[in-house]
Amino acid sequence: MSFLGEILCRKAAEVEERRRKTSERELITRASDLPPPRSLAEALSPRGGPVRVVAEVKRASPSAGEIAAALDAPAQAARYAAGGAAAVSILTDGPGFGGALEDLAGARRQVALPLLRKDFVIDRYQLLEARVAGADAALLIAAALSEDGLAGLVEDCAALQLTPLVEVHDEWEVEAALAAGAQVVGVNNRNLKTMKVDLSVSERLLPMLPETVKAVAESGVRTAEDVRRLRAAGAANFLVGEALVRAADPAALLKELMEA
Ligand SMILES: O=C(O)c1ccccc1NCC(=O)[C@H](O)[C@H](O)COP(=O)(O)O
């Protein structure tokens, strides 16, 4: 089975286990009492606009292994907010990334920026969990979903007022994202089969996106030089994880990236 296939099987079992502990009805009740979420789309830059960074809280990853096992997620989110990030991405997958939904809830108590739940979302239940934990947006990975499945989850996001960030890796997934009505599309430079990062994926796919869509270049962006390279391809928004987590001074790196 492929790497992604294995994760999706594990995720399906995980979601069923969580549903047994907390019913969907319970989450719907809790979500109905919440104030409306912040708009991730509004926090992002239009094509050619100033650089905005979605800063990620990431303790580990399948490609890098352990990055910062003891990272305090709310404190890191607060560092990002102080450093001028446009939004914060929180990896909530445990086995692959050392994250948890509690990281998102903790970050919500610390920062007022839009928060993205970054996980392998395959079920509306995970969107309800995200909303209840304080997320404003949720990642939907086109490669992990059928076209109908993606379109259905985009609609579920709309019903919950969450912004879907639809992640694509190739031309077919760009078409699927646009057909599903995505208004925020992330081009992931990391190949999910080989784990290799190649910034030319953003250079190839970003020009396919209409100007009305907010585009985000994801993965492998580490330096001001990387930002300058992708700006030439029309990127204005960058999702940055590992480099910010490893940085001695994340605010200083954010400033460097935003001024590139
Ligand atoms: O980061 C990984 O190794 C990874 C492997 C398989 C699926 C997803 C993965 N990462 C999720 C992400 O999209 C990145 O965390 C995000 O784009 C930030 O990337 P980076 O700046 O390179 O940490």
CA distance 108 to 134: 6
Ligand 1, atom 13, residue with closest C-alpha: 219
| 8 Å CB contact between 27 and 132 | yes
CA distance 151 to 149: 6
Are β-strands 87-91 and 65-66 bridged in parallel, bridged antiparallel, or unpaired?
Answer: unpaired
Ligand 1, atom 19, residue with closest C-alpha: 219
Ligand 1, atom 14, residue with closest C-alpha: 219
Q: Where are the domains of the chain?
A: 3-258
Measure 259 CA to ligand 1 centroid, in angstroms. 23
Measure 60 CA to ligand 1 centroid, in angstroms. 9
Within 6 A (CB) of ligand 1 lie 56, 58, 61-63, 188, 190, 192, 195, 218-221, 239-243
Extract the tokens encoding 167: 């992640």
**Best mutation site among 117, 190, 195 for ligand 1, i.e. most ligand atoms within 8 A of its Cβ?**
190
Half-sphere exposure for 68 (CA within 13 Å, toward CB): 16
Look at the pTM and tell me if it is higher than 0.90: yes
Q: Greatest CA separation found in the chain?
A: 49
Q: What is the pLDDT, as a whole number, of residue 140?
A: 98
Listed residue (108, 105, 109, 124) closest to 162, CA to CA: 124
Which CATH code is given to the segment(s) 3-258? 3.20.20.70
Closest atom of ligand 1 to CA, residue 221: 21
From first to last of the 260 residues of the chain, give the pLDDT tens digit. Answer: 899 999 999 999 999 999 999 999 999 999 999 999 999 999 999 999 999 999 999 999 999 999 999 999 999 999 999 999 999 999 999 999 999 999 999 999 999 999 999 999 999 999 999 999 999 999 999 999 999 999 999 999 999 999 999 999 999 999 999 999 999 999 999 999 999 999 999 999 999 999 999 999 999 999 999 999 999 999 999 999 999 999 999 999 999 999 99
Ligand 1, atom 5, residue with closest C-alpha: 62
Measure 190 CA to ligand 1 centroid, in angstroms. 7
Q: What is the pLDDT, as a whole number, of residue 1?
A: 86
CA distance 83 to 201: 28
Listed residue (105, 121, 93, 124) closest to 27, CA to CA: 124
* CA 205 to each of CA 123, 162, 248: distance values in angstroms, whole numbers, following the listed order: 27, 25, 32
Please tell me what DSSP assigns to residue 140.
E
Ligand 1, atom 15, residue with closest C-alpha: 241
| 8 Å CB contact between 37 and 131 | yes
**Best mutation site among 118, 185, 219, 238 for ligand 1, i.e. most ligand atoms within 8 A of its Cβ?**
219
Measure 245 CA to ligand 1 centroid, in angstroms. 12
Closest atom of ligand 1 to CA, residue 218: 17
CA distance 157 to 211: 22
Listed residue (91, 77, 84, 81) closest to 51, CA to CA: 84
How many other C-beta atoms are found inside a 10 Å radius of the C-beta of residue 125? 18
Measure 220 CA to ligand 1 centroid, in angstroms. 8
| 8 Å CB contact between 254 and 56 | no
CA distance 233 to 244: 23
Are β-strands 163-168 and 137-141 bridged in parallel, bridged antiparallel, or unpaired?
Answer: parallel
Q: What is the pLDDT, as a whole number, of residue 197?
A: 98
| 8 Å CB contact between 205 and 166 | no
Extract the tokens encoding 164: 């879907």
